[in-house]
A and B are shown apart, each in its own frame.
Chain A
Amino acid sequence: MRVALFLTCVNDTLYPDTGRAVVKLLTRLGVEVDFPSGQTCCGQAHYNTGYRHEAEPLARHFAEVFAEYDAVVTPSGSCGAMVRELYPRMGERARAEGRGDTLTAMLAPVVPKTYELTEFLVDVLGVTDVGAYYPHTVTYHPTCHGLRSLGLGDRPRRLLEAVKGLELLELPGAEECCGFGGTFAVKNADVSAAMGADKVRNAESTGAEVLCAADNSCLMHLGGTMARLRTGMRPVHIAEILASTEEAVTV
Chain B
Amino acid sequence: MSGTFVGMPAFPEAARTAVRNPTLRGNLRHATHTIRDKRARAVAELDDWAALREAGRRIKDHTLRHLDRYLVQVEEAVTAAGGTVHWAADAEEANAIVARLVKETGEREVVKVKSMATQEIGLNEALEAEGIHAYETDLAELIVQLGKDRPSHILVPAIHRNRGEIRDIFRSEMGEWGRPAPEGLTDAPAELAEAARLHLREKFLRAKVGISGANFVVAETGTLVVVESEGNGRMCLTLPETLISVVGIEKVVPRWQDLEVFLQTLPRSSTAERMNPYTSMWTGTTDEDGPGTFHLVLLDNGRTDALADEVGRQALRCIRCSACLNVCPVYERAGGHAYGSVYPGPIGAILSPQLRGTGSEIDASLPYASSLCGACYEVCPVAIDIPEVLVHLRERVVQGGPAVRRGNRVVLRPAKGHAAERAAMRAAQWAFTHPGALRAGQRLASRTRRFHPRTLPGPGRAWSGTRDLPEVPAEPFRDWWQRTRGGKDGAE
Contacts and interface: CB of A to CB of B under 8 A. Distances in A.
Asked if A and B touch directly (CB within 8 angstroms), the answer is yes
Interface of A: 7, 9, 11-17, 19-20, 23-24, 27, 33-35, 37-41, 43, 45-55, 57-58, 61, 89, 93, 96, 144-145, 148-149, 175-177, 179-197, 220-221, 223-225, 227-228
Interface stretch (B78-86, B129-137, B168-176, B462-470): B462-470
Contacts of B466: 189, 193, 196-197, 224-225, 228
Given A54-B426, A61-B433, A149-B374, A177 B486 contact: no
A19 B330 CA distance: 32
Q: How large is the interface on B (under 10, 10 to 19, 20 to 34, 35 or more residues)?
A: 35 or more
B368 A11 contact: no
A83 B307 CA distance: 29
Contacts of B388: 89
A54 B429 contact: yes
A227 B468 contact: yes
A227 B454 CA distance: 11
- Which residue among B374, B435, B486 has the maximum number of chain A CB atoms within 10 Å of its CB? B486
A85 to B, nearest CB: 10
A49 B421 contact: yes
A175 to B, nearest CB: 8
A93 B310 CA distance: 10
Nearest to B438: A40
A218 to B, nearest CB: 10
Interface string B432-470: 110100100010010000000000000100111111111
B391 interface: yes
B333 A195 contact: yes
A246 to B, nearest CB: 17
Contacts of B277: none
Nearest to B327: A176
A52 to B, nearest CB: 5
B398 interface: yes
B425 A46 contact: yes
A150 B358 CA distance: 31
Nearest to A10: B470
A50 B426 contact: no
A49 B429 CA distance: 13
Contacts of B88: none
- B interface SS class: helix
Interface in B461-487: 462-470, 472-473, 475-478, 480-482, 486-487
Contacts of B394: 48-50
B26 to A, nearest CB: 13
A195 B371 contact: yes
Contacts of B391: 47-48, 50, 52
B397 to A, nearest CB: 6
Contact of B399 (A43, A50, A195, A221): A50
Nearest to B310: A96
Nearest to A32: B486
Given A190-B19, A223-B470, A228-B467, A184 B371 contact: yes
Contact of A7 (B329, B433, B472, B477): B477
Contact of A191 (B334, B398, B465): B334
B411 interface: no
Contacts of B472: 13-14
Contact of B467 (A43, A45, A61, A221): A221
Given A188-B369, A196-B467, A224-B468, 17 more contacts: A12-B477, A14-B470, A20-B492, A37-B478, A38-B435, A49-B394, A50-B394, A58-B432, A148-B373, A177-B373, A179-B329, A180-B371, A181-B371, A188-B11, A190-B20, A193-B466, A228-B466
Contacts of A176: 329, 373, 375
A86 to B, nearest CB: 8
Contact of B463 (A35, A93, A186): A186
21 contacts: A20-B480, A37-B478, A39-B435, A40-B432, A40-B438, A51-B422, A54-B425, A93-B311, A144-B373, A148-B374, A148-B377, A177-B373, A184-B371, A187-B12, A189-B12, A191-B15, A220-B470, A224-B463, A224-B464, A227-B468, A228-B467
A16 B475 contact: yes
B419 interface: no
Contacts of A179: 329, 371
B46 interface: no
B486 A193 contact: no
Nearest to A42: B432
A220 B433 CA distance: 25
A49 B425 contact: yes
B16 interface: yes
A12 B459 CA distance: 25
B462 A189 contact: yes
Nearest to B20: A190
B395 interface: yes
A49 B468 CA distance: 23
A133 B341 CA distance: 53
Nearest to A225: B467
B333 A24 contact: no
B378 interface: yes
A140 B482 CA distance: 33
